[in-house]
Amino acid sequence: MFASALSSILNKHTLTGENFADWKRNLKIVLTFEKLNFVLNTPCPPEPPVDAPNEVFLAYQRWKDSDDMARCYMITSMSTVLQAQHEDYITARQIMDNFEDMFSYQATEKRQEALSNLINYRQKAGSFIKEHMLKVMGHLTDAHTNRADIDAESQLTMIFETFK
């Protein structure tokens, strides 16, 4: 039941292109729960020879079956246009690599926007510190979510700057 609830997240948030980062995050949640996420990071083992030990054949078959399942999750959770473009890709990793190439500009734009929001945010006169800090933490979270690498000292500097 929980698995179907998780996979329904992908159905509700179908990849259209504009939402790649969110779709990828949801896909990784589903694949992790289903114990399939390894196919995105682990290359396919070579096809075993006929005389290979049974455990080698089973490991190969497990990877192939897991990859097929991951591909199905991916293909069914994207727009029909993207499905048509990716239905002939052999592995889930190939699909993800292509998406990373297609949509990498989005991450850069979102990272720049998040950092700009953080750098330019200032506390409004008369506003509560708690309210202000929640907003600052939201901007920091956006920056981290979009892979901005901000060390602790720089984070503190940015936070203090928002009070000026």
Query: Tell me: the pLDDT tens digits for 91-105?
Result: 999 999 999 888 876
Q: Residues 107, 71: contact at Cβ < 8 Å?
A: no
Q: Which amino acid is at 138?
A: G
Of the listed ranges 70-84, 85-99, 127-141, 142-156, the least confidently predicted one is: 142-156
- Determine the pLDDT at residue 48: 94
pLDDT of amino acid 32: 93
In this prediction, residue 69 carries a pLDDT of 95
Contact predicate 39/91, CB 8 Å: yes
How many whole angstroms separate alpha carbon 161 and alpha carbon 164?
A: 6
Nearest-CA neighbor of 27 among 44, 40, 45? 40
Residues 6 or more apart from 33 whose CB is under 8 A from it? 2, 3, 6
